[in-house]
Amino acid sequence: MPGQRGLFIPGPTNVPQAVRLAMDISMEDQRAPDLPSFTLPLFADVKKVFKTDTAQVFLFPASGTGGWEAAMTNTLSPGDKVLIARFGQFSLLWADMCTRMGLEVDVVDVPWGEGVPVEIFAEKLKADKAHAYKAVLVTHNETATGVTSDVAGVRKAMDDAHHPALLFVDAVSSLASIDFHMDEWKVDICVSGSQKGFMMPAGLAILAVSEKALAARKAAGMRRCYFDFEDMMKTNKDGFFPYTPPLHMLRALRAATDLLLSEGLENVFARHHRLAEGVRQAVSAWGLRLCAAAPKWHSDTVSAILLPEGFDSAALVRHAYTKYHMSLGMGLNKVAGKVFRIGHLGDLNEIMCLQALAGAEMAMRDLGVPVTAGSGVGAAIEYYRGATASSALKN
């Protein structure tokens, strides 16, 4: 089919031309004497995206899942207790990894559509006088349900309980799209990946690690090798890597970081909020509901949209793919067949969101979902016109 396939999944996201071209390079010498003049400023600028002055950035050739593994193995010992809430496929997989790695996992199950239950965490942390919890794990943005959680709230609960556990945050589908404050929230490890807010192909796990988490590695008894922070630190300090680094990906990261910083992080967050709000206006104009159970959980990077009873969202996603040449996100696990997702993050603007909404609307009408033609698109158009006009006036 002619034309470009629409990619409206919550990662991998569209790769901007500047990032693609940055990767189109001849192979480079990973031991070149001038490599540090490229890598050291890159490490420093990626820290800005995490809003940290004090943490250290690690770039592993891996996806976000490898980033989780790096976080756990470098800081914890077998049998250590961790606290995590499970409310979607990605928080579920993280909890599962912890169990498989031999940690004692206290899982708080929450209805899918809600986020981290800060009050329950606060009670558990207060009750844990012996400080058995060694880490508290927060999925900042649950990509399966389109739910954003309150990391600052969890930090406050930990501080109120004077709890010394490490705070780990999965920001795979939020970093560089939804505001994140590594230092202010005293996050110990933030795990992200290249294929979402960074607008790159999958293949880099991008981590920021606090001094406290780095210190914890000295007593951490879990086995680790490839993901050992120690090996990275020894070589990264001079701008090199303990193995052959994926230099084309680092060049892409340079270009992506430049794009983010030149747009301005606050503008990036405002754009994501505006795009997401237009999608939410469309969903209510369709007469449908989000999986996110309340506005406080609304994600600015992905909307999971519940189809009415009797309709199969997997069939809808398949239909949109084959008939309209566009990818929408599938429902995963407990919400499989029930929700379809629109990813609205990365290199995206209003017109691209309207394309996603129009395609979803056509596919829903084809399958008999009772939505009025143009209703969602119309609502988003009017919202975007207003929101874009007010931001243009401000500039």
Strand order in the sheet with 289-290: 289-290, 302-306, 339-343
Q: Which stretch binds ligand PLP (CB under 6 A): 151-159, 170-178, 308-316, 349-357?
A: 170-178
Residue 11 engages ligand PLP in binding (rule: CB under 6 A): yes
Stretch that binds ligand PLP, among 105-113, 137-145, 262-270, 372-380 (CB under 6 A): 137-145
**Residue 166: strand pairing partners:** 135
Nearer residue to ligand PLP within complex by CB, 39 or 141: 141
CB of 304 to ligand PLP, least distance (A): 12
Residue in this structure with the two tokens 């290199």, named with its chain if needed: 347
User: Tokens standing for 140?
Assistant: 């900042």
Cβ atoms of 14 and 7 closer than 8 Å = yes
- Closest approach, Cβ 385 to ligand PLP, in A, equals 31
Choosing from 90, 286, 340, 384, the residue that interacts with ligand PLP (CB under 6 A) is 90
Nearer to ligand PLP, 65 or 388 (CB): 65
Q: For ligand PLP, what does the binding mask look like between residues 287 and 326, x meaning CB under 6 A?
A: ----------------------------------------
Question: Contacts with ligand PLP in 196-215 (CB under 6 A)?
Answer: 202
- How far, in Å, CA of 78 to CA of 104, rounded? 8
Nearer to ligand PLP (CB atom), residue 227 or residue 324: 227
Strands 147-148 and 104-109: unpaired
Q: Does 170 bind ligand PLP (CB under 6 A)?
A: yes
- Grouping H, G, I as helix, E, B as strand and the rest as coil, residue 129 is coil
Beta-carbon contacts of residue 392 (< 8 Å; ≥ 6 apart): none
CA–CA dist 370, 392 (Å, integer): 36
Closest to ligand PLP by CB, 70 vs 387, is 70
| Site stretch for ligand PLP (CB under 6 A), options 165-173, 241-249, 261-269, 307-315 | 165-173
Q: 377: helix, coil or strand?
A: helix
The reply, when asked if residue 5 is annotated as ligand binding, is: no
The 336-375 contact track toward ligand PLP, x by CB under 6 A, reads ----------------------------------------
Cα gap 140→180, rounded to integer Å: 9
Distance CA 334, CA 144 (A): 10
CA distance to 67, 172, 300, per residue, from 197 (Å)? 16, 8, 11
Complex with ligand PLP: residue 30 or 65, whichever CB lies closer: 65
Contacts (CB under 6 A) with ligand PLP, residues 27-66: 63-65
Cα distances from 141 to residues 118, 180, 191, 224, in angstroms, run 15, 11, 12, 27
The binder of ligand PLP chosen from 172, 275, 282, 362 (CB under 6 A): 172
Say how many C-beta atoms besides its own lie within 10 A of residue 42's C-beta.
Answer: 19
Q: Provide the token pair at 337.
A: 């067949």
Q: Please list, residue by residue across 283-312, b when 16 or more beta carbons sit within 10 angstroms of its beta carbon and e when fewer do.
A: bebbebebbbbeeebbbbbbbbbbbeeebb
One of 143, 177, 281, 301 touching ligand PLP (CB under 6 A): 143
Q: To the nearest whole angstrom, how small is the minimum distance from the Cβ of residue 173 to ligand PLP?
A: 4
Cα three-residue angle 252-93-360, rounded to 5 degrees: 65
Selected binder of ligand PLP within 39, 75, 145, 173 (CB under 6 A): 173
Residues in binding site for substrate: 341
- Residues lying near ligand PLP in the complex (CB under 6 A) are found at 11, 63-65, 90, 139, 141, 143, 170, 172-173, 193, 202
